[in-house]
Amino acid sequence: MSRYRGPRVKIIRRLGSLPGLTSKTLKSKSSYIDRSTSNKKVSQYRIRLEEKQKLRFHYGLTERQLLKYVRIARKAKGSTGQVLLQLLEMRLDNTIFRLGMAPTIPGARQLVNHRHISVNNDTVDIPSYNCEPGDIITIGNKQKSQSIITKNLNLFQKLKIPSHLTFDLAQLQGYVNQTVNREWINLKINELLVVEYYSRQV
């Protein structure tokens, strides 16, 4: 299944707020009630499916990519759900978004693909690059790179940066201080339901 490129408001209308997908918010949730399900009992499968879809659309992943991350999380020590969220949060595109350098995760992915971002002084063009504690994220030397990201910073630096990251506005550098903790992830999701959804596929 390919990455979603359709209307984003349509997705948040169905699944709720997904800050990684779009910065737009709905004016009134009550006006967007799904009438087809209002009088029906929602199945457990649908509840798990919607939680999985939240994760996939928020982080901008294909079905194959998300399944790959679930398999890695299952093999790691600790809670599979929390390890899964940590893996997704430490992706380079998400880290750039969380630093306020891009308005959304798709916007951050585009910055990486266009080679505007360096990690530890090496240009990285892979959005799924796994950031680790001690990594320094900088903007390329091109004037275009700096103007794009400076504009984003002026618009989105008001957002709270999570505790595992810091950003030096004077140097235009982001720092990864440590691996993200579950409480710093601002996505309303039950990751255990996602793991349950994939339990028969992993």
What 3 state SS string does 134-163 have? Answer: CCEEEECCCHHHHHHHHHHHHHHCCCCCCC
What is the pTM assigned to this prediction? 0.81
> The CATH number of 8-87+187-197 is which of 3.30.565.10, 1.10.1050.10, 2.40.10.10, 1.10.3720.10?
1.10.1050.10
Query: Once rounded to an integer, what is the mean pLDDT over residues 6-14?
Result: 62
Contact 2, 60 (CB under 8 A): no
For the chain, the average pLDDT equals 81
| pLDDT confidence band for 3 (50 / 70 / 90) | low
Find the mean pLDDT for residues 10-35: 56
Is pLDDT above 70 for 100?
Answer: yes
Own/partner pairs, 185-190, CB within 8 angstroms, 24+ separation = 185/85, 185/89, 186/19, 186/162, 187/18, 187/19, 187/20, 187/54, 187/55, 187/58, 187/85, 188/16, 188/17, 189/51, 189/54, 189/55, 189/58, 190/51
| Region of poorest pLDDT, from 12-21, 47-56, 175-184 | 12-21
pLDDT for 15 equals 66
How would residue 71 be classed by pLDDT, with cut points 50, 70 and 90?
A: very high
Res 180 pLDDT > 70: yes
Report pLDDT digits (tens) over 108-166: 999 999 999 999 999 999 999 999 999 999 987 777 777 777 777 776 655 678 889 99
Residue range 26-37: mean pLDDT, rounded: 45
Q: What is the largest CA-CA distance in the chain?
A: 57
Query: Do 46 and 197 touch, CB atoms closer than 8 A?
Result: no
Q: What is the mean pLDDT of residues 86-104?
A: 91
The residue ranges of every structural domain in the chain are 8-87+187-197, 91-179
Taking 70 as the threshold, does the pLDDT of residue 84 lie above it?
A: yes
pLDDT for residue 112: 93
CATH 3.10.290.10 matches 91-179? yes
**Res 151: pLDDT:** 77
Between CA 103 and CA 182 the distance in angstroms is 22
85 phi/psi in degrees, rounded to 5: -65, -40
